[in-house]
Amino acid sequence: MTTYIIRRIFLNLAVIFILLTFVFVSVRILPGDFAAEQVALRQFGGAGVEGESVEDLMAEARRALGLHGSIPEQYGRYLRDLARGDFGISLATRESTITETGEAFPYTLQLGGMILLIGLVMAIPLGCLSAWQKGTRLDAALRVLAMLGLAAPIFWTATIGTLFVLETGIIELDILGYPGFWQDPWGSFQLFLIPALAGGAGIGAILMRLVRSEMIAVMGTDYVRTARSKGLTEATVAIHHGFRSSLATIITMVGLLLASLLSGTIILETMFNIPGMGQEMITAIGRRDVPMVQTLALTIAAMVVFANLVVDILTAMSDPRISVEASEA
Protein backbone atom coordinates (compact mmCIF):
# COMPACT_ATOMS: atom_id res chain seq x y z
CA MET A 1 0.00 0.00 0.00
CA THR A 2 2.81 2.45 0.90
CA THR A 3 4.58 1.82 -2.43
CA TYR A 4 1.31 2.39 -4.29
CA ILE A 5 0.65 5.69 -2.49
CA ILE A 6 4.19 6.97 -3.14
CA ARG A 7 3.88 6.10 -6.83
CA ARG A 8 0.56 7.90 -7.07
CA ILE A 9 2.00 10.99 -5.36
CA PHE A 10 4.89 11.23 -7.84
CA LEU A 11 2.54 10.60 -10.75
CA ASN A 12 0.23 13.39 -9.60
CA LEU A 13 3.17 15.77 -9.15
CA ALA A 14 4.09 15.08 -12.77
CA VAL A 15 0.48 15.77 -13.79
CA ILE A 16 0.54 19.11 -11.93
CA PHE A 17 3.76 20.07 -13.74
CA ILE A 18 2.17 19.24 -17.10
CA LEU A 19 -0.93 21.24 -16.19
CA LEU A 20 1.26 24.14 -15.05
CA THR A 21 2.97 24.14 -18.45
CA PHE A 22 -0.38 23.88 -20.24
CA VAL A 23 -1.77 26.87 -18.33
CA PHE A 24 1.35 28.92 -19.14
CA VAL A 25 1.18 28.11 -22.86
CA SER A 26 -2.60 28.45 -23.22
CA VAL A 27 -2.61 31.98 -21.75
CA ARG A 28 0.05 33.06 -24.25
CA ILE A 29 -1.62 31.63 -27.36
CA LEU A 30 -4.91 33.41 -26.70
CA PRO A 31 -5.76 35.95 -29.44
CA GLY A 32 -5.04 39.60 -28.79
CA ASP A 33 -2.17 41.57 -27.27
CA PHE A 34 -2.56 41.78 -23.50
CA ALA A 35 0.08 44.49 -23.19
CA ALA A 36 -1.64 46.68 -25.79
CA GLU A 37 -4.94 46.29 -23.97
CA GLN A 38 -3.37 47.35 -20.66
CA VAL A 39 -1.85 50.41 -22.31
CA ALA A 40 -5.19 51.29 -23.91
CA LEU A 41 -6.93 51.02 -20.54
CA ARG A 42 -4.35 53.31 -18.92
CA GLN A 43 -4.68 55.87 -21.72
CA PHE A 44 -8.47 55.78 -21.51
CA GLY A 45 -8.33 56.33 -17.77
CA GLY A 46 -5.62 58.96 -18.04
CA ALA A 47 -3.37 57.18 -15.50
CA GLY A 48 0.36 57.55 -15.77
CA VAL A 49 0.45 58.60 -19.44
CA GLU A 50 2.00 62.09 -19.21
CA GLY A 51 5.64 62.12 -20.27
CA GLU A 52 5.60 58.47 -21.32
CA SER A 53 5.65 57.27 -24.90
CA VAL A 54 3.51 54.39 -26.12
CA GLU A 55 6.67 52.28 -26.52
CA ASP A 56 7.60 52.87 -22.88
CA LEU A 57 4.09 52.01 -21.75
CA MET A 58 4.12 48.83 -23.86
CA ALA A 59 7.47 47.76 -22.41
CA GLU A 60 6.26 48.46 -18.87
CA ALA A 61 3.05 46.49 -19.48
CA ARG A 62 4.98 43.52 -20.89
CA ARG A 63 7.25 43.46 -17.82
CA ALA A 64 4.19 43.59 -15.52
CA LEU A 65 2.60 40.72 -17.43
CA GLY A 66 5.81 38.71 -17.64
CA LEU A 67 5.63 38.79 -21.44
CA HIS A 68 9.07 40.29 -22.12
CA GLY A 69 11.75 38.06 -23.59
CA SER A 70 11.42 34.80 -25.48
CA ILE A 71 8.89 32.09 -24.50
CA PRO A 72 11.58 29.88 -22.86
CA GLU A 73 12.79 32.90 -20.85
CA GLN A 74 9.23 33.70 -19.78
CA TYR A 75 8.69 30.08 -18.76
CA GLY A 76 11.92 30.04 -16.76
CA ARG A 77 10.93 33.22 -14.89
CA TYR A 78 7.47 31.77 -14.28
CA LEU A 79 8.91 28.60 -12.72
CA ARG A 80 11.40 30.58 -10.60
CA ASP A 81 8.64 32.85 -9.31
CA LEU A 82 6.44 29.86 -8.44
CA ALA A 83 9.35 28.19 -6.62
CA ARG A 84 9.67 31.34 -4.48
CA GLY A 85 5.93 31.36 -3.82
CA ASP A 86 5.41 34.42 -6.02
CA PHE A 87 2.24 33.83 -8.05
CA GLY A 88 2.07 37.39 -9.33
CA ILE A 89 0.03 40.54 -8.72
CA SER A 90 -3.50 41.03 -10.05
CA LEU A 91 -3.54 43.72 -12.73
CA ALA A 92 -7.04 44.81 -11.70
CA THR A 93 -6.73 45.05 -7.91
CA ARG A 94 -2.94 45.23 -7.42
CA GLU A 95 -3.28 42.54 -4.75
CA SER A 96 -1.40 39.25 -4.60
CA THR A 97 -3.18 36.69 -6.80
CA ILE A 98 -2.62 33.90 -4.26
CA THR A 99 -4.20 36.07 -1.55
CA GLU A 100 -7.31 36.72 -3.65
CA THR A 101 -7.48 33.04 -4.61
CA GLY A 102 -7.24 32.10 -0.94
CA GLU A 103 -10.19 34.37 -0.15
CA ALA A 104 -12.32 32.74 -2.87
CA PHE A 105 -11.23 29.15 -2.17
CA PRO A 106 -13.45 28.48 0.93
CA TYR A 107 -16.61 29.39 -0.98
CA THR A 108 -15.80 27.01 -3.84
CA LEU A 109 -14.77 24.29 -1.39
CA GLN A 110 -18.02 24.63 0.58
CA LEU A 111 -20.21 24.63 -2.52
CA GLY A 112 -18.37 21.70 -4.11
CA GLY A 113 -18.42 19.73 -0.85
CA MET A 114 -22.15 20.27 -0.39
CA ILE A 115 -22.87 19.26 -4.01
CA LEU A 116 -20.89 16.04 -3.61
CA LEU A 117 -22.46 15.23 -0.23
CA ILE A 118 -25.99 15.81 -1.53
CA GLY A 119 -25.25 13.69 -4.60
CA LEU A 120 -23.98 10.78 -2.49
CA VAL A 121 -26.87 11.01 -0.01
CA MET A 122 -29.30 10.84 -2.93
CA ALA A 123 -27.49 8.21 -5.00
CA ILE A 124 -26.51 5.49 -2.54
CA PRO A 125 -29.86 4.73 -0.83
CA LEU A 126 -31.96 5.30 -3.97
CA GLY A 127 -29.57 3.25 -6.14
CA CYS A 128 -29.57 0.36 -3.66
CA LEU A 129 -33.37 0.53 -3.35
CA SER A 130 -33.77 0.54 -7.13
CA ALA A 131 -31.52 -2.52 -7.46
CA TRP A 132 -33.33 -4.32 -4.64
CA GLN A 133 -36.70 -3.61 -6.28
CA LYS A 134 -35.47 -4.43 -9.81
CA GLY A 135 -38.29 -4.74 -12.32
CA THR A 136 -40.97 -3.21 -10.09
CA ARG A 137 -42.88 0.03 -10.48
CA LEU A 138 -40.72 1.61 -7.79
CA ASP A 139 -37.60 0.73 -9.80
CA ALA A 140 -39.14 2.27 -12.92
CA ALA A 141 -40.08 5.44 -11.03
CA LEU A 142 -36.57 5.81 -9.61
CA ARG A 143 -35.02 5.33 -13.04
CA VAL A 144 -37.30 8.02 -14.49
CA LEU A 145 -36.26 10.30 -11.63
CA ALA A 146 -32.59 9.67 -12.46
CA MET A 147 -33.19 10.46 -16.13
CA LEU A 148 -34.86 13.73 -15.17
CA GLY A 149 -31.85 14.62 -13.02
CA LEU A 150 -29.52 13.92 -15.96
CA ALA A 151 -31.63 15.78 -18.52
CA ALA A 152 -32.37 18.94 -16.51
CA PRO A 153 -29.76 21.69 -17.15
CA ILE A 154 -28.11 22.91 -13.98
CA PHE A 155 -29.15 26.54 -14.57
CA TRP A 156 -32.81 25.48 -15.02
CA THR A 157 -32.79 23.46 -11.80
CA ALA A 158 -31.16 26.36 -9.94
CA THR A 159 -33.71 28.84 -11.30
CA ILE A 160 -36.69 26.66 -10.33
CA GLY A 161 -35.21 26.12 -6.86
CA THR A 162 -34.71 29.87 -6.37
CA LEU A 163 -38.25 30.69 -7.47
CA PHE A 164 -39.61 28.04 -5.10
CA VAL A 165 -37.66 29.50 -2.16
CA LEU A 166 -38.77 33.05 -2.97
CA GLU A 167 -42.39 31.95 -3.27
CA THR A 168 -42.51 29.86 -0.09
CA GLY A 169 -39.97 31.75 2.03
CA ILE A 170 -38.70 28.49 3.59
CA ILE A 171 -35.14 29.83 3.50
CA GLU A 172 -34.18 33.34 4.56
CA LEU A 173 -32.02 34.79 1.79
CA ASP A 174 -29.46 37.44 2.70
CA ILE A 175 -29.17 40.07 -0.03
CA LEU A 176 -26.06 41.56 1.57
CA GLY A 177 -23.78 38.70 0.57
CA TYR A 178 -22.47 35.31 1.63
CA PRO A 179 -21.09 34.96 5.17
CA GLY A 180 -18.17 32.62 5.68
CA PHE A 181 -18.96 29.17 7.03
CA TRP A 182 -17.07 29.75 10.28
CA GLN A 183 -18.60 33.20 10.64
CA ASP A 184 -22.23 31.98 10.38
CA PRO A 185 -22.48 28.20 9.77
CA TRP A 186 -26.29 28.00 9.66
CA GLY A 187 -26.74 31.13 7.55
CA SER A 188 -24.02 30.00 5.17
CA PHE A 189 -25.59 26.54 4.87
CA GLN A 190 -29.00 28.02 4.01
CA LEU A 191 -27.61 30.32 1.33
CA PHE A 192 -25.61 27.52 -0.31
CA LEU A 193 -28.43 24.96 -0.12
CA ILE A 194 -30.28 25.85 -3.35
CA PRO A 195 -27.18 25.96 -5.61
CA ALA A 196 -25.88 22.79 -3.92
CA LEU A 197 -29.18 20.97 -4.55
CA ALA A 198 -29.13 22.11 -8.19
CA GLY A 199 -25.62 20.77 -8.66
CA GLY A 200 -26.18 17.66 -6.55
CA ALA A 201 -29.20 16.57 -8.62
CA GLY A 202 -27.07 15.85 -11.70
CA ILE A 203 -24.22 14.23 -9.75
CA GLY A 204 -26.71 12.15 -7.76
CA ALA A 205 -28.49 10.95 -10.92
CA ILE A 206 -25.24 9.70 -12.47
CA LEU A 207 -24.12 7.97 -9.28
CA MET A 208 -27.57 6.49 -8.65
CA ARG A 209 -27.55 4.76 -12.05
CA LEU A 210 -24.05 3.47 -11.36
CA VAL A 211 -24.96 2.18 -7.88
CA ARG A 212 -28.02 0.40 -9.29
CA SER A 213 -26.13 -1.32 -12.12
CA GLU A 214 -23.22 -2.31 -9.85
CA MET A 215 -25.52 -3.68 -7.16
CA ILE A 216 -27.50 -5.73 -9.71
CA ALA A 217 -24.27 -7.16 -11.14
CA VAL A 218 -22.80 -8.00 -7.72
CA MET A 219 -26.01 -9.47 -6.30
CA GLY A 220 -25.99 -12.09 -9.06
CA THR A 221 -22.50 -13.43 -8.32
CA ASP A 222 -21.73 -16.83 -6.81
CA TYR A 223 -20.40 -15.57 -3.48
CA VAL A 224 -23.58 -13.55 -2.88
CA ARG A 225 -25.69 -16.62 -3.59
CA THR A 226 -23.48 -18.53 -1.15
CA ALA A 227 -24.09 -15.84 1.50
CA ARG A 228 -27.84 -16.21 0.97
CA SER A 229 -27.61 -20.00 1.31
CA LYS A 230 -26.01 -19.52 4.75
CA GLY A 231 -29.24 -17.93 5.97
CA LEU A 232 -28.14 -14.30 6.02
CA THR A 233 -30.90 -11.72 5.68
CA GLU A 234 -31.30 -9.89 2.38
CA ALA A 235 -30.33 -6.58 4.01
CA THR A 236 -27.12 -8.10 5.41
CA VAL A 237 -26.26 -9.62 2.04
CA ALA A 238 -26.93 -6.33 0.21
CA ILE A 239 -24.92 -4.14 2.61
CA HIS A 240 -22.00 -6.39 3.65
CA HIS A 241 -21.52 -8.22 0.35
CA GLY A 242 -23.25 -6.27 -2.40
CA PHE A 243 -22.52 -2.64 -1.56
CA ARG A 244 -19.00 -3.23 -0.19
CA SER A 245 -18.04 -5.02 -3.42
CA SER A 246 -19.40 -2.10 -5.46
CA LEU A 247 -17.65 0.56 -3.38
CA ALA A 248 -14.41 0.68 -5.39
CA THR A 249 -16.27 1.38 -8.64
CA ILE A 250 -18.41 4.07 -6.99
CA ILE A 251 -15.36 5.83 -5.53
CA THR A 252 -13.64 5.73 -8.93
CA MET A 253 -16.66 7.34 -10.59
CA VAL A 254 -16.69 10.08 -7.94
CA GLY A 255 -13.11 10.87 -8.92
CA LEU A 256 -14.07 11.08 -12.59
CA LEU A 257 -16.96 13.43 -11.77
CA LEU A 258 -14.83 15.92 -9.79
CA ALA A 259 -13.83 17.92 -12.87
CA SER A 260 -17.49 18.15 -13.94
CA LEU A 261 -18.41 19.15 -10.40
CA LEU A 262 -15.99 22.08 -10.50
CA SER A 263 -17.36 23.12 -13.90
CA GLY A 264 -20.82 23.13 -12.34
CA THR A 265 -19.63 25.34 -9.49
CA ILE A 266 -18.45 27.96 -12.01
CA ILE A 267 -21.98 28.19 -13.45
CA LEU A 268 -23.61 28.25 -10.01
CA GLU A 269 -21.21 30.82 -8.58
CA THR A 270 -21.93 33.11 -11.52
CA MET A 271 -25.71 32.63 -11.24
CA PHE A 272 -25.87 33.16 -7.47
CA ASN A 273 -23.07 35.75 -7.30
CA ILE A 274 -21.03 33.54 -4.96
CA PRO A 275 -17.52 35.03 -4.55
CA GLY A 276 -15.76 31.73 -5.28
CA MET A 277 -12.97 30.81 -7.66
CA GLY A 278 -15.34 30.20 -10.58
CA GLN A 279 -16.71 33.72 -10.48
CA GLU A 280 -13.19 35.10 -9.94
CA MET A 281 -12.06 33.20 -13.06
CA ILE A 282 -14.87 34.65 -15.21
CA THR A 283 -14.10 38.16 -13.92
CA ALA A 284 -10.35 37.77 -14.48
CA ILE A 285 -10.85 36.54 -18.06
CA GLY A 286 -13.13 39.50 -18.77
CA ARG A 287 -10.50 41.89 -17.41
CA ARG A 288 -7.68 40.09 -19.29
CA ASP A 289 -5.96 39.75 -15.92
CA VAL A 290 -3.26 37.24 -16.95
CA PRO A 291 -1.59 36.64 -13.53
CA MET A 292 -5.01 36.05 -11.90
CA VAL A 293 -6.13 33.66 -14.64
CA GLN A 294 -2.90 31.66 -14.33
CA THR A 295 -3.15 31.40 -10.54
CA LEU A 296 -6.82 30.40 -10.55
CA ALA A 297 -6.37 27.84 -13.34
CA LEU A 298 -3.38 26.29 -11.58
CA THR A 299 -5.23 26.19 -8.24
CA ILE A 300 -8.32 24.54 -9.75
CA ALA A 301 -6.16 21.99 -11.57
CA ALA A 302 -4.26 21.22 -8.36
CA MET A 303 -7.57 20.75 -6.51
CA VAL A 304 -8.74 18.17 -9.07
CA VAL A 305 -5.39 16.33 -8.98
CA PHE A 306 -5.28 16.26 -5.17
CA ALA A 307 -8.90 15.07 -4.95
CA ASN A 308 -8.16 12.29 -7.43
CA LEU A 309 -5.14 11.26 -5.35
CA VAL A 310 -7.44 10.93 -2.33
CA VAL A 311 -9.87 8.92 -4.47
CA ASP A 312 -7.05 6.60 -5.60
CA ILE A 313 -6.02 5.97 -1.99
CA LEU A 314 -9.62 5.34 -0.89
CA THR A 315 -10.14 2.98 -3.83
CA ALA A 316 -7.03 1.01 -2.90
CA MET A 317 -8.18 0.83 0.73
CA SER A 318 -11.63 -0.44 -0.31
CA ASP A 319 -10.11 -3.05 -2.66
CA PRO A 320 -6.52 -4.06 -1.70
CA ARG A 321 -6.15 -5.95 -5.00
CA ILE A 322 -5.79 -2.62 -6.79
CA SER A 323 -2.66 -1.55 -4.88
CA VAL A 324 -1.16 -5.05 -5.21
CA GLU A 325 -1.71 -5.15 -8.98
CA ALA A 326 -0.34 -1.61 -9.37
CA SER A 327 2.78 -2.47 -7.35
CA GLU A 328 3.43 -5.57 -9.47
CA ALA A 329 2.97 -3.66 -12.74
Q: What is the pLDDT of residues 319-328, one digit of tens each?
A: 665 554 555 5
Position 45 scores a pLDDT of 47
Position 129 scores a pLDDT of 86
Position 44 scores a pLDDT of 47
Q: How far is CA 88 from the centre of its chain?
A: 23
Residue 320 parent element (H or E): helix 320-328
The C-alpha atoms of residue 98 and residue 81 are separated, in whole angstroms, by 12
- The answer to whether 196 and 223 are in contact (CB under 8 A) is no
CA within 13 Å, CB half, 192: 29
pTM: 0.79
Contacts of residue 16, Cβ cutoff 8 Å, sequence gap at least 6 = 301, 302, 305
Position 77 scores a pLDDT of 84
CATH 1.10.3720.10 residue ranges of the chain are 97-328
The C-alpha atoms of residue 237 and residue 229 are separated, in whole angstroms, by 10
Position 115 scores a pLDDT of 92
Which segments in the chain show pLDDT lower than 50?
A: 44-49, 324
Domain 97-328 matching CATH 3.40.50.920: the answer reads no
Position 117 scores a pLDDT of 92
